[in-house]
Structure 1
Amino acid sequence: MRSLSHTLLLCVFALSGISCTSCSGEKHPSPPHYEPERPDPLTAEPYAWEASRQEVPAVTDLVLLYGGGHHRSPYAWDAERLSDYVTYTDTDGKTHWLFDGFLLLEIMDPAVGEGAGVKFANGYTYNNQPLRSATREDWQRLIDYCFAEDTGIGALEQVVAAAAATLGEPAVKRRVVISIPEPIRYRDVDSKVTEYWGSVDGRSLDFADANDRVRACQWFIDTVRAEFDRRNYAYVELGGFYWLAEKDSDTSNIIGTIAAYLDDLNESFNWIPYFNAAGARQWKSYGFHYAYLQPNYFFSESVPESRLDEACELAAAAGMQLELEFDDNALNSRGMAYRLRNYMSAFRRHGVWSDKRLAYYQGSQSLRMLKNSADPADRELYHEFCRFVVTRPIRTAP
């Protein structure tokens, strides 16, 4: 469910105890406003494999895979789970490559040792309890999670290698996009503590300074890039980074510097703002390479189908891509399968299916739930959705 991810819909979050103030309209106690100066430019040093790229990497079908928080069950993405996202076998027994991009992201870890858990983006709570802002140690734990040998990227490498042995190698490597945690200015929602994150090169960072917030993100980016360089995967590659904050309100003064840094490295910078999020229509001015708009239609039956038309039209006007969204409520027993079908219908009607890059929010593992369901209606929807993905004209375009 997007309640365990980055959907910004309070009605869904309530099912799991997770809430986010940006969707509910409620606000945490606001610390005193502080607007630091714009950060200084960063100097980029690309690896050879980055320097050799003619352009930043792109994907046509980017699936969101949440993990790294200990509230997830199952906790890790092993080869068995990932296999259902790498390939699809149709009703005639023919196997196809499915998603070509894999976004690894996490919004919180509410069960970190003793005391309160941590959030990786501003505005989230768990069971109505506040979460602390994540530190460098927490950010490193996410990196370690992504690069585990038998789960995460290591498992993805294994699955793609096995599939390539029978299908032949895909035209391009499967691309992994890594989420950058938000450098949240304050340690706690009701405190003025800004020097809490940790140090880089022996100097403690103070998030009251925009340069230090950017420096933390640069450290994260460079640590991830170094891991990819060291491991030299044969079947997957780093496709870029994702900005976890779904609105620009708290980070507008630092996004541009981070975008320029990634651009110099030939790494893509991706964003998925929620519907009518602050700054969404100005995504190009921040330097993002790709921005996908969330229609936020699936999760509440009070949202009319016309939202999909509105989202498609807004995205077209702003030059944005789109996100397709569903969760376990798409199961026939839950009664909301029609809303997933409405996405597919609207996206075809507006030319999104044929021409746009798509991101796919599918709950924790709702695509697998449909595939493995005992209900024939669920399996029918599974095949309908996968056909929607693998037959998109944009996948075969030059």
Structure 2
Amino acid sequence: MKVLKLAVLFLASALLCACEGNGPADIPDWKDFVEDKPGKDDVPEVSKDKVPSDMVLIYGGSAHRNPVKWTGNYLKEYVIYTDRSGVKHWLFDGFLCLEFMYVNVPTGNKTFITGYSYNGVKLPSATKYEWQSLIDYYFEIDGGLNAIEKAVELASEEMGSSPKTKRKVVIGIPEPISNEYYSNTSSSTVYWGKLNGKELDFSLTSDRLNACKWYIDEIASRFKAQKYKYIDLVGFYWVAEKATNTRDLMNKVGEYLNANEFTFNWIPYFNADGFSEWKKYGFNVAYLQPNYFFSDSVPEGRLDEACDYAKRYNMGMEIEFDGNALEANGKGYKLENYMKAFKKYGIWESSPIAYYQGSWALKWLRGSVNSEYNQKLYHDFCEFVITRPYRTKDDEQN
């Protein structure tokens, strides 16, 4: 079996990436990355069958989501794609399941990550109750991961056969936030709940780690018991997008995951704190957020910078868009620019890609049958995904 190691390094200084006129350079296939000499910062190699080529982010768990519950029919459009000629193709081979907050519930609004607010109010940190509720959401009988399983089953019926490989699932790990109120470092650190009769104190790295281990074990055990036919739990994702508040913890979580044959995944934002120290944190796979789509003040050159990081340091990348890509909202050109840049710099050809699409923007594009622009953008995007040499060269998606 081929093994691979995804090295993800970002440059901390914008001065280092301000080179003008940079064009695409020779980019090694990330599967052929030359290993560093062994050292304290090395992370274990990862087999290719544990890394999706095209992983879509899907949010769920909080009552503010619409729809709150996933279903097989709803998710099927993320599993297969019908092209302009009516031919069906497998679409995304990976699903990143994650949630950042737990709101609109009788027990009160909470956050799974430092810094989140809801309706202008800074949220208190999630407790064991919310962590458990998120686990339960993923294993609802007719929702959660069962909905992804059902979606692949329905897609297989339409395709006439199952995909050659199971669809890969990666699940977000809530950040064990040190204080009950992240904005008040004097607030309690003993708020999360008990494990094995012991009240955890999140001022202790060991207790925060134990909470993560409990969460991982619960999900792994319940996933195994389901005996899924079409999906495989390959790894977990660290929802904190910078290292600031978990610098002492991430590598320990990574070691635990690797010991249990799971990958440790990360998608830090552009120039996030700690991005250049990925090895210390034990991540096996990481993707760079260009953060170009959302703000009009970010120039198209951001994509050149981000792609330059990727080709230099052999990292995966994230394509970003949301409902503003629809014709009526005027930002579809930005999604087009991502696709152009990723082709120009070889990301499309030789790197794994994660896809942020807001809530369900891809479905909205597909459903906008009265907009010629939206239909073209939808088909162009899906064809960008299904024709990638990175995924087709090993004939895994056909």
The interval holding the TM-score normalised by the smaller chain is 0.7 to 0.9
Q: After TM superposition, which residue ranges in structure 1, 4 or more long, deviate above 6 angstroms?
A: 53-56
CA contact (8 A) 2:311 2:345 kept: no
**Which of 49, 52, 58 is the matching residue for 1:59?**
52
Q: TM-score, normalised by structure 2?
A: 0.84
AA aligned opposite 1:119: T
Bigger shift: residues 296-305 or 148-157: 148-157
Report how far residue 244 of structure 1 moved.
0.3
2:133 matches 1:141: yes
**Which of 147, 172, 177 is the matching residue for 1:155?**
147
- Structure 1 counterpart of 2:7: none
- Structure 1 counterpart of 2:203: 208
Matched position secondary structure for 1:74: coil
Bigger shift: residues 369-378 or 155-164: 155-164
**Which of 389, 392, 396 is the matching residue for 2:388?**
392
Structure 1: which 5+ runs fail to align? 1-52
- Structure 1 counterpart of 2:40: none
Q: TM-score, normalised by structure 1?
A: 0.84
- Structure 1 counterpart of 2:218: 223
> What aligned pairs does 1:110-121 form with structure 2 within 5 A after superposition?
110-115=103-108, 117-121=109-113
Residue by residue over 1:183-232, the C-alpha shift from the partner in whole angstroms, topping out at 9 and shown as x without a partner, is: 00000132430011111111111001000000000000000000111111
The 1-side partners of 2:297 and 2:199 are apart by 47
Matched position secondary structure for 1:214: helix
Number of residues of Structure 1 aligned to a counterpart in Structure 2: 345
CA contact (8 A) 1:281 1:318 kept: no
Bigger shift: residues 121-130 or 106-115: 106-115
AA aligned opposite 1:289: N
Bigger shift: residues 245-254 or 312-321: 312-321
Matched position secondary structure for 2:280: helix
The 2-side partners of 1:369 and 1:203 are apart by 47
- Structure 2 counterpart of 1:290: 285
- Structure 1 counterpart of 2:117: 125
Report how far residue 56 of structure 1 moved.
6.8
The 2-side partners of 1:66 and 1:232 are apart by 23
> What aligned pairs does 1:212-291 form with structure 2 within 5 A after superposition?
212-291=207-286
Report how far residue 114 of structure 1 moved.
4.8
The 2-side partners of 1:277 and 1:362 are apart by 21
Residue by residue over 1:93-134, the C-alpha shift from the partner in whole angstroms, topping out at 9 and shown as x without a partner, is: 11001000001101012223154x100000111122111100
- Structure 2 counterpart of 1:49: none
**Which of 277, 280, 301 is the matching residue for 2:296?**
301
Matched position secondary structure for 1:285: coil
Kindly tell me: are residues 127 and 166 of structure 1, through their superposed partners in 2, closer, same or farther at Cα, counting changes over 3 Å? Answer: closer
2:374 matches 1:381: no
The 2-side partners of 1:236 and 1:114 are apart by 32
Report how far residue 318 of structure 1 moved.
3.0
The 2-side partners of 1:130 and 1:64 are apart by 24
2:309 matches 1:314: yes
**Which of 54, 64, 72 is the matching residue for 1:71?**
64
- Structure 1 counterpart of 2:11: none
Report how far residue 235 of structure 1 moved.
0.7
AA aligned opposite 2:151: V
Matched position secondary structure for 2:287: strand
AA aligned opposite 1:181: P
The 1-side partners of 2:302 and 2:362 are apart by 23
CA contact (8 A) 1:62 1:360 kept: yes
Matched position secondary structure for 1:360: strand
Kindly tell me: are residues 270 and 139 of structure 1, through their superposed partners in 2, closer, same or farther at Cα, counting changes over 3 Å? Answer: same
CA contact (8 A) 2:321 2:357 kept: yes
CA contact (8 A) 1:176 1:238 kept: yes
- Structure 2 counterpart of 1:171: 164
After superposition, the CA RMSD in angstroms is 1.3
Residue by residue over 1:158-193, the C-alpha shift from the partner in whole angstroms, topping out at 9 and shown as x without a partner, is: 121122234322121001110000000000132430
Kindly tell me: are residues 216 and 354 of structure 1, through their superposed partners in 2, closer, same or farther at Cα, counting changes over 3 Å? Answer: same
CA contact (8 A) 1:55 1:266 kept: no
Matched position secondary structure for 1:389: helix
Matched position secondary structure for 1:224: helix
Kindly tell me: are residues 56 and 288 of structure 1, through their superposed partners in 2, closer, same or farther at Cα, counting changes over 3 Å? Answer: farther
Report how far residue 326 of structure 1 moved.
0.2
- Structure 2 counterpart of 1:361: 356
AA aligned opposite 1:58: V
CA contact (8 A) 1:56 1:263 kept: no
The 2-side partners of 1:324 and 1:390 are apart by 15
- Structure 1 counterpart of 2:95: 102
Matched position secondary structure for 1:133: coil
